Amino acid sequence: MNAPLNHPLPLLDLDVLRTFVAIAETGSFTTAANAVFRTPSAVSMQIKKLEDILGRSVFARDARSVTLTTDGEMLLGYARRLLSINREVVSKFIIPDIV
């Protein structure tokens, strides 16, 4: 279903998607927090924000592990593509001006 043009869709924050991918790849909020230079609490808040925006859980959590839900698995592919496109744009437009 398409959203009406006068009702903008929420934007997904690339930093939050980067954190999401880090958790998916490491299987740990704490390890991912270290990888993205955030506290575990900040990482948890980012994922809560992401899940609130999407209206779905992206991780199944228990006392010892974190696994992707079906929705999380689908999001992982999109997140990786968005981050890849971001790297491509930055390398095309920003990095050439730095050197």
Domain ranges of the chain: 14-98
Number of helical H runs and strand E runs in the chain: 5, 2
What number of other Cβ atoms are within 10 A of residue 54's Cβ?
A: 14
Are 15 and 2 in contact by the 8 Å Cβ rule? The answer is: no
Q: Average pLDDT over the chain, rounded to whole?
A: 92
Q: How far apart are CA 47 and CA 97, in angstroms?
A: 34
Are 47 and 22 in contact by the 8 Å Cβ rule? The answer is: no
14-98 in CATH: which number? 1.10.10.10
pLDDT digits (tens, 9 = 90+) for 53-94: 999 999 999 888 899 999 999 999 999 999 999 999 998 888
Residue 1 confidence (pLDDT) above 80: no
